[in-house]
Amino acid sequence: MNARARPVGDRAVLLELPDNAAVHVAARRARERYGEQLAEVVPGHATLLLVGRRGRPRVDLDGLEAEATAEATGAPVLLTVHYDGADLQTVAGQLGVSTNAVVSLHTGAVYTVAFMGFAPGFPYLVCERDSPLLGLPRRAGPRPAVPAGSVAVAAGYCGIYPRRLPGGWNLIGRTDAVLFDPAREPPALLAPGARVRFQAGEL
Amino acid sequence: MTRVEVVAPGPLTTIQDLGRPGFAHIGVPRSGAADRPALILANRLVGNHAGAAALETTLTGPRLRFHDRALVALAGAPVRGAVMYDAFQVEAGEELRVGTAVRRLRTYIAFAGGLRVPLTLGSAATDTLTGLGPAPLRAGDVLELGFGGAKYMPEHVFGPSEPGTALRVVPGPRADWFTPAALTLLTSAEFTASHQASRVGVRLDGPALARAREGELRSEGLVPGAIQVPPDGRPILLLSDHPTTGGYPVIAVLHSDDIPLAAQLRPGTRVRFRAVP
């Protein structure tokens, strides 16, 4: 795999990969082959950060290209969403469609967790095909507090707020699913590479 | 059970250990002591294992009333009038006042037996970014100490060395987002630790570091010691509670041995950087 490796200090290396699917395969292989010497394996957008326990990790991920295309991905996690988000009307208006059409757009696609961040358990979901919903810009100003479980779209991503947090994305609904619980194993409901589908729940 | 009561917490005193590594991919920062060698030293002085839970102060320490006798040690930022880098006994009923640091920023207070704190993802650390772990100390809190400690007391202890002339940085991973002049500035100009300083990171005042390209980077993984540069050109040096991913390009990353020095940068302190491969 033609991964460009950029040094990150004396303890880490940042691999640039062709796409997010390649990132998730590389992350799995890095853990399998080099888990002993790695403190963290952190996917980003088309990048993979490998943090060494001691020195900068030296990894050889050759032969991943074929695996990346051949590897079957798991069944999607199904999340129920109550589509009553504070921005649902505005989003429908921006797209020039009905709110029902927004729900259909959102439930009609399969998503993949590209990477996580912002808060523990917060997934940055990308759509497996182009979605006008995810292409919407962020709100002009962020809200100081977005309710836990809010499902939001902006800037190429769909996100789910694991807890009450500030946020500038467009809120389309909410889920009762617990995205993050440090007392649970695993603590995060979703992980990078996980696939997700949404279904409409009762309001 | 040995108990210690918090009479006054100081501006920000948190419980820290060596953090919760291995969860960055699900958005959980490592957290833990900002100055790890200082935490380890304080623990060693009272015979604890290196990563026992201890207190981390910010500029001024707490006032603690001991309900029972305990062995205590201070390391990190030196405090006026306090015994540093040596274990000492505090008797039942006595009060320990950890005052203001003479220089540097964070002092570590270790207790023989360590602090008994419920663990979150294997760590007692307070993560100020995400709220994981115990809340910062408040007046009236009662800390419980564990058993053990003082089995091994090092014969010779060396306090931290004073920072050299410049902190070492490895250029990249996104040095190519910046003008050659910006890179030269980073490793030649003097910067000042600003008052925008926390366990997440410290903003550096100094010359703006200009980008060589437009647009924004997509989010990528971050490490402690990363120097990220927002569009305004004012660098932010990330510390232990940094977010796990972010989209500001990182011009350079501190050598890991120099991160403890950065964690002790007090607002107003001048700092220089020099490049190492």
pLDDT for residue A79? 98
Residue A16: give the domain boundaries. Answer: 4-70
User: What domains, with CATH codes, occur in chain B?
Assistant: 2-145 (no CATH), 167-275 (2.40.100.10)
Position B165 pLDDT exceeds 80: no
- B window 76-115, beta carbon within 8 A of A: none
The per-residue pLDDT for A1 is 52
Q: Does A115 touch chain B (CB under 8 A)?
A: yes
Strand B88-90 to strand B95-97: parallel, antiparallel, or no bridges (unpaired)?
unpaired
Burial class (CB within 10 angstroms; exposed 0-12, middle 13-18, buried 19+) of B276: middle
What's the whole-number mean pLDDT along residues B118-127? 98
Under the banding of pLDDT at 50, 70 and 90, the label for residue B166 is very high
Residues A27 and A53 in one domain: yes
Contacts of B221 in chain A (CB under 8 A): 14, 40, 42-44, 47-49, 51
Domain boundary among A55, A70, A85: A70
The reply to whether residue B219 touches residue A124, judged by beta carbons under 8 angstroms, is yes
pLDDT at position A2, please? Answer: 57
- What ipTM score was computed for the predicted complex, to two decimals? 0.94
> Which chain B residues contact residue A120 at CB under 8 A?
23, 26-28, 130, 132
Residue B148: predicted pLDDT: 74
**If you count residue pairs, one on A and one on B, with CB atoms under 8 Å apart, how many are there?**
113
Domain-terminating residue out of A17, A37, A70: A70
User: If pLDDT is split at 50, 70 and 90, which confidence band does B47 have?
Assistant: very high
- Decide if pLDDT at B121 tops 70: yes
pLDDT of residue A60: 82
Smallest CA–CA distance, residue A81 to chain B, in Å, is 22
Q: Are residues A15 and A104 in the same domain?
A: no
The predicted structure's pLDDT at residue B157: 67
Indicate whether B245 pLDDT > 70: yes
In this prediction, residue B154 has a pLDDT band, given cuts at 50, 70 and 90, of low
- pLDDT at residue number A129: 83
Instruction: Return mean pLDDT, chain A.
Output: 92
Same domain, A65 and A118: no
pLDDT band at B161 (very low <50, low <70, confident <90, very high): low
Of residues A11, A40, A117, nearest to B22 (C-beta) = A40
Instruction: Verify that A125 and A167 share a domain, yes or no.
Output: yes
Interface contact flag, A40 B25, Cβ < 8 Å: yes
A98: Cβ contacts below 8 Å, ≥ 6 apart? A92
pLDDT above 70 covers what percent of chain A? 93
Q: What is the CATH number of the domain that holds A47?
A: 3.30.1360.40
B188 part of contact set with chain A, CB < 8 Å:
no
Residues in a beta bridge with B171: B252
Closest Cβ opposite residue B218 in set A9, A14, A44? A44
- For residue B187, is pLDDT > 80? yes
Taking the Cβ of residue A102 and every Cβ of chain B, the question of whether any pair is shorter than 8 Å is answered with: no
Q: Say yes or no: A125 and A192 in one domain.
A: yes
Same domain, A51 and A92: no
- H or E segment and range at residue A197: strand A195-200
Q: Model confidence over A63-92: pLDDT tens digits?
A: 665 565 555 567 899 999 999 999 999 999
Predicted local distance difference test score (pLDDT) of residue B147: 85
Nearest residue on chain B to A113, alpha-carbon basis: B26
Q: Grade residue B151 by pLDDT with cuts at 50, 70 and 90.
A: low
Cα–Cα distance, B234 to B244 (Å, whole number): 20
What is the CB neighbour count within 10 angstroms for residue B164? 11
* CATH number (domain holding residue A112): 2.40.100.10
- B98 near B182, Cβ under 8 Å? no
Split at pLDDT 50, 70, 90, the class of A24 is very high
Q: How far apart are CA B203 and CA B229, in angstroms?
A: 10
Residues A131-141 have pLDDT tens digits of 899 999 999 88
| Smallest Cα distance from B244 to chain A, Å | 6
- Chain B residues whose CB is inside 8 A of the A191 CB are 25-26
Residue that terminates a domain, selected from A43, A70, A97:
A70
Q: Please tell me if residue B240 touches chain A, with a CB cutoff of 8 Å.
A: no
Least confident of B102-106, B159-163, B199-203: B159-163
Q: Would you call B274 an interface residue with chain A, using a CB distance cutoff of 8 Å?
A: no
Nearest-Cα distance to chain B for A24, in Å, is 11
Total residues belonging to chain B: 277
Contacts of A121 in chain B (CB under 8 A): 26-27
Question: Is residue A41 domain-shared with residue A91, that is, in the same domain?
Answer: no
Q: Is the pLDDT of residue B145 over 70?
A: yes
Q: How do strand A77-81 and strand A195-200 relate by DSSP bridges?
A: parallel
Whether residue B21 and residue A6 make contact (CB cut-off 8 A), yes or no, is no
Domain count, chain A: 2
Same domain, A39 and A88: no
Residue A175 predicted with pLDDT over 90: yes
Q: What's chain B's average pLDDT? A: 94
Q: Are residues A40 and A104 in the same domain?
A: no
**Interface contact A8-B253, CB threshold 8 A:** yes
* pLDDT tens figures, B55-77: 999 999 999 999 999 999 999 99
Residues A42 and A83 in one domain: no
- Nearest beta carbon to residue B170 from set A9, A40, A182: A9
Q: Do β-strands B250-254 and A77-81 pair in parallel, antiparallel, or remain unpaired?
A: unpaired
Closest Cβ opposite residue A7 in set B172, B219, B221: B172
Interface of A with B in 137-196 (CB under 8 A): 180, 182, 186-188, 191-192
Q: What residues of A are in contact with residue B273 (Cβ under 8 Å)?
A: none
Of B21, B27, B256, the CB nearest to A116: B27
- Indicate if A190 and A123 belong to the same structural domain: yes
Mutation site, B23, B25, B168, B217, interface A, largest A CB count within 10 A: B25
> Do A115 and A85 share a domain, yes or no?
yes
* Angstrom distance (rounded) from CA B241 to CA B244: 9
Lowest mean pLDDT among B23-37, B80-94, B118-132, B141-155: B141-155
